Amino acid sequence: MQSGKVEVERSLDSAGSLGAAFFPLVEEVLAAAAWSAADLDLIAVSIGPGSFTGLRVGLSVAKGLVVAAGCEVVGVPTLEALAQVAARREGADGKTICPVLDARKGEVYAARFGAQAGSATRLDEDRAVAPAVFAGEVDAREAVLIGDGVEAYRELWSAHLAGAELLPFAEYHPSGSVVAELGEAVYAAEGGQPVAVLAPRYCRAPEAQVNLRAAENGS
């Protein structure tokens, strides 16, 4: 982005090595914008919740670019960026936007946002929660669900939230340009964030840590 305008956007659904896919994509975007790393003033990176491996790789790449370019960095919550995608749709005003990402283990990463004037305002915090529990907290008449958790639990949403709008993930998915726009707003309001303290938003303990605690409690 430059002066609030999106110059170039690329997306990639990589089933292979994330690290191997990231750097060629970054190079492609910089070349398309006729920029070099030295031209970057700010990097906005999605910090989760989401895949633990994906978040670690994404943040590592972002931090490496920040050090190389000598620029600022801000983290943008993933659910907030998803909510913004849904809030910009025609007819979204007044709706409760519910980004839901498949967290595996019978849970979704979820939060609620209010949509007004094409913008999403947070109503509660991100968390890992059972889909049925989350559905019980949502008014189906006002709800718009977005994210890969829509397809993962479509039957449950249809049963518990009849009348809610379920957005197809293939059409409504995370957007790099939205992350960039939100990051620019965060930077304008709060400034950059120290690279050393920028961390993933996991919303639950890693499985290895959970298993270790279980082993300790069982001993």
Residues 161 and 188 in one domain: no
What confidence category does residue 105 fall into, taking pLDDT thresholds of 50, 70 and 90? very high
Average pLDDT, stretch 182-193?
A: 96
In degrees and rounded to multiples of 5, residue 188 shows phi and psi of -65, -35
Report whether 65 contacts 40 (CB < 8 A): yes
The whole-number pLDDT of residue 53 equals: 87
Residues 112 and 74 in one domain: no
Helices vs strands, H then E, count in the chain: 8, 9
Residues 155 and 129 in one domain: yes
Q: Is residue 1 part of a domain?
A: no
**Range of lowest pLDDT (18-22, 65-69, 107-111, 171-175):** 18-22
In degrees and rounded to multiples of 5, residue 140 shows phi and psi of -60, -30
Report whether 144 contacts 82 (CB < 8 A): no
To the nearest whole number, what is the mean pLDDT of the chain? 91
CATH number at residue 87: 3.30.420.40
- Percentage of the chain exceeding pLDDT 90: 78
Distance CA 195, CA 74 (A): 9
Query: Domain containing 160: what range?
Result: 79-166
pLDDT in tens, 200-215: 999 987 554 544 444 5
The amino acid at 192: G
Residues 200 and 94 in one domain: no
The whole-number pLDDT of residue 21 equals: 79
**Cα dist. 160→133, 134, 144, 155, 157 in Å?**
10, 10, 13, 9, 5
The whole-number pLDDT of residue 84 equals: 98
Q: Give the DSSP per-residue string, 48-112.
A: -SS-HHHHHHHHHHHHHHHHHHT-EEEEE-HHHHHHHHHHTSTT-TT-EEEEEEEEETTEEEE--
Residues with Cβ within 8 Å of residue 144, at least 6 apart in sequence:
86, 89, 92, 95, 96, 97, 98, 115, 164, 165, 167
Average pLDDT, stretch 187-201?
A: 95
Question: Exposure of 13 by Cβ count < 10 A (0-12 exposed, 13-18 middle, 19+ buried)?
Answer: exposed
What confidence category does residue 23 fall into, taking pLDDT thresholds of 50, 70 and 90? confident
75 or 18, higher pLDDT: 75
Number of folded domains in the chain?
A: 2
pTM of the model: 0.90
Residues 84 and 162 in one domain: yes
